A and B are shown apart, each in its own frame.
Chain A
Amino acid sequence: MASLELSDIRKSYGATAVLDGVSLTMEAREFIAFLGPSGSGKSTLLRIIAGLETLDGGEVRLDGRRIDQVPPGDRGVAMVFQHYALYPHMSVRENMAFGLRNVGVPRDEIERRVADAARVLEIEVHLDKKPGQMSGGQRQRVAIGRAIVKHPKLFLLDEPLSNLDAALRMRTRIELAQIRSRVDAAFIMVTHDQAEAMTLADRIVVMNDRKIQQVGPPMEIYSRPANTFVARFVGSPAMTLAPVELVPDDGLYARVRLGDGAEIETRVPRSELPAGGTLQIGLRPESVAVAANGAATTQAKVELVERLGERTLVYARLSDNRAITAEDEGYSRVNVGDTVGLRIDGAAAHLFDAEERGYHAEARPE
């Protein structure tokens, strides 16, 4: 059964539209990440679901019940705020109990739920502290605890990890995944960090420019981006995009020519491509390898080398001055200024038409 249904959500501030007809259906217990750059409308959408913003049009339903006109506290959702938003004058225990006390949950039930949450989050020894006496990571746990004790149908997480340092962020990410598996509820997390979205979410909703750009499981978003925005936004470093010409022949798959004349045999069925119009090729760094001249598709001049340890990223320019990102082994001997051969894996190439829509290699038979 669907847990959350959004249909045709519209929102504008004055003349500025921030959400333009957003629709989405969530499965029960699903974890969805809203991924997008600043100003893409992802936080606004989360706040509309929470009831902290009104909507101008559309409907929000949770477990079949329409909730968009219901006050925030009566919606059956709990939210974890980016800056925690703990009550500074209450102890950790009171912070967690506050929402339960307000709806008249019996005292021993409150104590039981707070104790359970504190044990799961390992903050039992801090229960009598005030938020000001705790570290950022501990406050984050309290904020999560405050949401858990309410037993909501839907958790809303607003950039929950963005205030933590790198090490703590990794740890909390794993803990979030564990909490998620223990709790019988759906999750929505807003983030601009694609690693968080990829690792935690069942499905990612990529948002940009007031609209949903693509909805799908993380690997589908990565391997079959719907358009150039998704292609560039997901994946680091970003996918190389370069204009190409379709080579006319009668093969099953599209054969394209780069600006420097190199030809690439893709796995995109020729029949799917629109007739006429310009095309762009999309190449992830891992499908462009530094290769000896004999095996190379084309040549490029190296501009920057980033050694990441297990692999090396090579930023280079083709002879027509197009930038391209390639990958090499960890102990790469490539230096800035070298001209190197690049072997392009045509089977992993993506094509984008004039409307920036994506075309991909035929799905691998499973």
Chain B
Amino acid sequence: MRGGADRRDWSGLLFVLPFLTAYLIILIYPLLSGMALSFQRVDLFGGGRFVGFDNYARLFADETFVRSVLNTFALALMIVPLLTVIALSLALALNRATRGAAVFRGVFFSSSVLSVTIVTLIWRFVLAPDAGLLGETAQAIGAEPIPFLSHPTWSLWALAITTIWWSVGLPMMLFLAGLQQIPGDVYEAAALDRASRWTTFWRVTLPALRRTLVLVVMLQTAAQLQIFGQAQLLTGGGPGGSTRTMVLFIFESAFARWELGYATAAAEILFLLIVLITLTQYVTTMRASEGEDGR
């Protein structure tokens, strides 16, 4: 009997083997070898040399790295709340069955299909203070153009605005999907209970979107902590390192200075940060939500 059960187990494993193989090779192996690499001093041409926590110690002493961590957090804090609010507002406005709403859903989602190169190109045209759209507009009304790409604070905002514009489509769609799960008769009950639009939003709609909201915030936090393309292409990390993000730092360490071990150690820190932050978000927001599945 036992042998038969065992054989069944093994044959089951056979079915998932193709996936498991790819998963091990593409995800698990690099993850582990990355960890190993972060404890070595290594360049592209020679073998590595084990250095213990040397790379990590150097990172925490490296002002450029610390700055990049702060920049990344600043960006995530600028992007995630705004992006969530804008995506939710768009979803609320477009959650209707009219043709116009369908067109606008398409329009707002369309930016998501563009590559980061095109997105940054577009926003360069908009943000450039001398010849860009905002610069021209400012000059036309006689105001001083905002130096979006050359001022340390403004250039972070430039990155944030570009990112929000680029990534608003998916969270909007997630919110729309969440909104369509809410049964219509609950809103009718609220209308009979004389709930104002505002009360209905806070007491009916938002609680029902709680899971979607958590999902959007977690996905966006994880994504924005890895912000890279916009920073590299729009500002190149400048001016004066004010927009250098963690991934840009990792990229520069690995592929400009060829310090693979050092870069990998920075990547491990980023990995840990993302895991910690998203886990914290998950645990704190998902508490006390049992018993809310039924009506």
Contact = CB atoms under 8 A, between A and B. Distances in A.
B203 A87 contact: yes
Contacts of B293: 88, 132
Contacts of A12: none
Interface string B267-295: 00000000000000000000000111111
B191 A89 contact: no
Contact of A85 (B186, B203, B290, B294): B186
Interface string A62-98: 0000000001111001110111111111100000001
Nearest to A74: B194
Interface in B194-236: 194-196, 199, 203-204, 207-208, 210
Contacts of A243: none
Nearest to A129: B291
A131 B292 CA distance: 7
A341 B192 CA distance: 58
A249 B203 CA distance: 75
A146 B188 CA distance: 13
Interface in B150-197: 183, 185-186, 188-196
A102 B193 contact: yes
A272 B196 CA distance: 58
Which applies to chain B's interface (DSSP): helix, strand, loop or mixed? helix
B205 to A, nearest CB: 10
A99 interface: yes
B294 A79 contact: no
A270 to B, nearest CB: 53
B194 A103 contact: yes
Among B192, B195, B208, B210, residue most surrounded by chain A Cβ atoms (within 10 Å): B192
B295 A89 contact: no
A72 B191 contact: yes
A58 to B, nearest CB: 21
Contacts of A78: 192
Contact of B192 (A79, A82, A129, A134): A79
Contact of A73 (B193, B203, B295): B193
Given A130-B291, A139-B295, A87 B186 contact: yes
Contact of B191 (A52, A90, A134): A52
A72 B193 CA distance: 8
A319 to B, nearest CB: 53
B83 to A, nearest CB: 24
Contacts of B208: 88-89
Interface in A258-316: none
A131 B191 CA distance: 19
Contact of B183 (A85, A90, A102): A85
A9 interface: no
Nearest to B206: A89
B192 A72 contact: yes
B193 A89 contact: no
Contact of A98 (B193, B207, B290, B295): B193
Nearest to B207: A89
B61 to A, nearest CB: 49
A133 interface: yes
**Looking at B190, B193, B195, B295, which has the most chain A CB atoms within 10 Å of its CB?**
B193
Contact of A99 (B185, B186, B194, B204): B194
Contact of A71 (B191, B207, B294): B191
Contact of A133 (B193, B207, B291): B291
B292 A88 contact: yes
A160 interface: no
Nearest to A83: B185
A81 B183 CA distance: 12
A82 B185 CA distance: 9
A88 B188 CA distance: 14
A51 interface: yes
A79 B203 contact: no
Contacts of A98: 190, 193, 195, 203
A133 B192 CA distance: 24
Contact of B292 (A71, A85, A132): A132
Nearest to B210: A89
A84 B185 CA distance: 8
Contacts of A146: 189, 193
Given A73-B193, A87-B204, 15 more contacts: A51-B191, A51-B192, A52-B192, A73-B191, A74-B194, A82-B185, A83-B183, A84-B295, A86-B186, A87-B189, A98-B203, A102-B195, A103-B194, A132-B290, A132-B292
For the complex of A and B, the 5 pairs showing the least CB-CB separation, nearest first, are: A73-B194, A99-B193, A132-B294, A89-B207, A130-B291
7 contacts: A73-B192, A83-B295, A87-B190, A87-B204, A88-B294, A89-B292, A130-B292
Interface of A: 50-52, 71-74, 77-79, 81-90, 98-99, 102-103, 129-134, 139, 146
